[in-house]
Each structure stands twice: as C-alpha cells, then as structure tokens.
Structure 1
C-alpha cells in the first residue's frame, strides 16, 4: 500500500533499536527521508547503514540523548522542515516510588514529557504553515493500565498525553495530526531485562521467556517492532488525516475495554 508520503522528511527519536527503529524502517520503506537518533553512536551508524541499503532513502544520523537541547538543535538542523515527527525516549527503570528523589523525578519528567513537548513546539507551526504534519508519540500502555514500580514513566507519559490532547485540536484544520501509540508487551530489549549489550539470547531461553511474558496477552504472543512501526507509518500517511488526539494501544488485546 502506497501511504502517500514518499519524499516526505521525518525525524524519529531514539531510533537506533527497538520500537523507534521499527518506526524508522517503516517510514523509510514508505519512501521518507529520515533522521535517526540514538545514544550509542556505533549502534546508530549500523542502523542507518542498514536502512539506507534496504530502502534507498536518505538517512541522516544524529547521535546523542534527545533530551539534551543541543541534540534537539542538531536534529532540527539536520531536518529544518520535518513533515513527520516520531517522539520516543527511554523510560525510567522499574523502581519503587519510595526510591525516587527529586532529581530522578525531574529526569523522568524531562525525558518523557518535557522533551517531546519541546520538539512539538519546534515543528508544529511549520507543519501547519505547509499544510501537512504528522506527530506520533510513543508512550506506554501504562498510561491506561498503571504498572507498579513504573509509576514515574506512567505519570510523565500521562502528563504528555493530557498536554497534547488540547494542542492536537488546535492544528487539525491545517492537516496536522498528533496521536499516541501505547505499546504493551512488545519484544524489545526492555522486556529482556538486564543483559550485556550485543549478547544473543539462547533460543530455548528466549522461547520460554516470551511464552511466560505473553501468557496473559489474548494474542498469546509478544508484538514486534516491525508491526508497531507499520502502525506508526499508517498514522503518518495521507490516509490518517482524520485521526487526531487519539491513544491507540498496540498490545494484542491486553488492555480490556469495550470503549
């Protein structure tokens, strides 16, 4: 399916691996020139090279922590007039809320609420002036279903959701949409738990882990970054212009609600 965004320019934050990479790959496949970002420069370079080779689009690398103002400036210098922005960032680790001090709380809110808002502020008016814009925020199913020990992540992402819910309605008439994707249990490093970077899981251990984690998911499996990315790409397409201000769980039916 041609998504109608070939030649568009996209910034995808935290996209060297996992869900961000899945989104970058899907947008590159759709024909977008992309700017990718990640804290590990070597890993990012490998991702960029693979996407260039696979899809033949322009891929620009901006290594660094997207929460830093200088890295945000570098992203916008690499792509001054983006048509698409995918906000993504690593979440705080599992931790009892009693262990949080002010510094940790502010860091979590900065990474998962303030940073995406700053990037939306930087790009939304240009999108509106040009008559096309797609902003997708990768949040978490914990916005809907609180997860103990993930309270800081849940709170920061819920704050982002509420903040942008009103903003989305102010630019919808100029063909700019803002939506949120809420991943549930997807097969990323975060679900693998602590491990050495670059290590390969024993196939039997991986199968057992996936079966255990997905036991309560109606789909009886973990989602993949690839299918998550394709959903993101559709929300960025010309066909999704009438969808805005929405929270879309990508969770295999884990979140139980009729409405």
Structure 2
C-alpha cells in the first residue's frame, strides 16, 4: 500500500529511543522527513544515523517537553529547514512508579505539566498551519493503563487518561479541516522502558526480570512482547493518506493483552 506521505514533514517527540524511535524509523521508511527530537543528543544522533542508513531523511533537534519556552525556536528551525510540519507525534517519557494514595501534590503537578500540558501546548502551536493547509496528523502515544490501570503506576494511569479526553474532543473540532487526531495504546512492547518496569516489579516481588517477563507473556494472547517496529508501523499507517477517515480513535497495539472490549 502506498501511504502517500512522501515528503511530508513529521515532528516526533522522544525519538531517541523506544517507541518514539520506532515511529520515527517507520515514518522515514514511508518517505517522510523526520524531525527527531528529545533531550539526549547522543540518542538522537543514533536515531538519525539509523534513518539515514535505511535511505531516509532526518535531522535532530534538542527539545525538552519540560521547557515549553523552547517550542517556538525548535518549530521555527524545522520550518526553516523543511517547511511546515504535517505530522506531530506526541510521545512523552513515563513518570516514576507511584501509588494513587499519598503521592505528593507537587509530583502530580510536575508530571501533569510534563506529560499533558506540554503536549497540548505543542499541538496548539502546530494546528493553525495544519488547518489552513487542510491536512494534518496528530498522534499521541499513551499506555495500556488508560484502558486497564496498571498497579503502582497511578501517575501514568491518571494523567495519560486526560490525554484521551483531550484528543477525542480535539478530533471533533478539526476533522472538517482535514486533520486527524488519534491515540495509540501500547501493550507490552519490548523497549528499554518495559524492561525497566519489569526489573522494578521483580525487585518488589523478590524475583528476576526474566521471571516477571515470562509471567507477563503468559497473559498476552499473542504469547510474546510486541516488537517496536510493529508499533511504529501502526503509527505510520495512522499518519497516512489512506487513514484519513480514522480520527478520534484509540488504537490498541497489544497482542490482545487488554481484556476489555
């Protein structure tokens, strides 16, 4: 299938590793010019190198979602380099494990600013140009905790859930302008972040990370963790022209893990 997004410009947040990197690679494979953004210059450079090795076009810009004052400068630099941004991938790092009860209010506020408010602000800066051109894609990656809350990840469960309400509302506001707005929900994807969570759980249960992973695999109908490129390919499809009638959706990429309908 021809995704018909060659020469489009994408800004991918958190593209130095994990799901963000996987999405950046998949978009580049479709001929998209990818602005690889994040906080770690070495990781960003590796993503750019991987894209260029596969014949794609990418450039790295440092962008810390905790510092929204950087947004205008980075967006301006991308526009000067390639033109207006057509595809935005909202992808923030996961918060620390926390209980729902007893977590300090300052931590809630800090994580809300980083995980929610910053993504909304970044989106608002790109939407006017998308709407005026009659084409745009907003893709926000979250967590399976927005559908089935994950124990000891109260910050992630609660704050990422707010992104679903925002995304669904925004989708209805901009659909007539040719802009789609969708959310992706990963299951157990084999990234470093999932490995860290398995290790934390293993320590808490006096077990090993591999034992935790094996127990987790037994709960997944597909019988395995997902590959990052499978997640990235789903994002590339949502960014495509053939997916122009998909908006306001929550797309699960979970191997059947989430049991609810």
| 2:25/2:50 contact within 8 Å kept | no
Counterparts of 2:31 and 2:212, CA distance in 1? 35
Counterparts of 2:233 and 2:2, CA distance in 1? 12
Which residue number in structure 2 is paired with residue 40 of structure 1?
40
Structure 1 residue 164, shift from structure 2 partner = 2.3
Which residue number in structure 2 is paired with residue 129 of structure 1?
132
Aligned-CA RMSD value: 1.8
Q: Secondary structure at the match of 2:130?
A: helix
Counterparts of 1:235 and 1:159, CA distance in 2? 21
| 1:28/1:34 contact within 8 Å kept | yes
Q: Residue 101 of structure 1 is aligned with which of 95, 100, 104?
A: 104
Is 1:242 the counterpart of 2:227 in the alignment? Answer: no
Structure 1 residue 40, shift from structure 2 partner = 1.4
Choose 145-154 or 91-100, whichever is displaced more: 91-100
| 2:14/2:37 contact within 8 Å kept | yes
| 1:91/1:108 contact within 8 Å kept | no
Q: How many residues align?
A: 248
Is 1:254 the counterpart of 2:253 in the alignment? Answer: no
Which residue number in structure 2 is paired with residue 180 of structure 1?
183
Query: Deviating runs (4+, > 6 A) in structure 1?
Result: none
| 1:210/1:221 contact within 8 Å kept | no
Deviations 1:122-177 (A, max 9, x none): 11121011011011000111111011211111111111111221111111111100
Which residue number in structure 2 is paired with residue 215 of structure 1?
218
Counterparts of 2:169 and 2:138, CA distance in 1? 14
Which residue number in structure 1 is paired with residue 70 of structure 2?
71
Distance 1:50 1:126, change over 3 A: same
Q: Residue 86 of structure 1 is aligned with which of 86, 89, 113?
A: 89
Distance 1:64 1:166, change over 3 A: closer
Structure 1 residue 56, shift from structure 2 partner = 3.1
Structure 1 residue 66, shift from structure 2 partner = 2.2
Q: How does 1:98-177 map to 2 (within 5 A)?
A: 98-177=101-180
Query: TM-score, length-normalised on structure 1?
Result: 0.90
Counterparts of 2:192 and 2:24, CA distance in 1? 17
**Gap runs ≥5 in structure 2:** 199-207
Counterparts of 1:31 and 1:76, CA distance in 2? 20
Which residue number in structure 1 is paired with residue 55 of structure 2?
55
Q: Residue 232 of structure 1 is aligned with which of 211, 232, 235?
A: 235
| 2:167/2:183 contact within 8 Å kept | no
Structure 1 residue 235, shift from structure 2 partner = 0.2
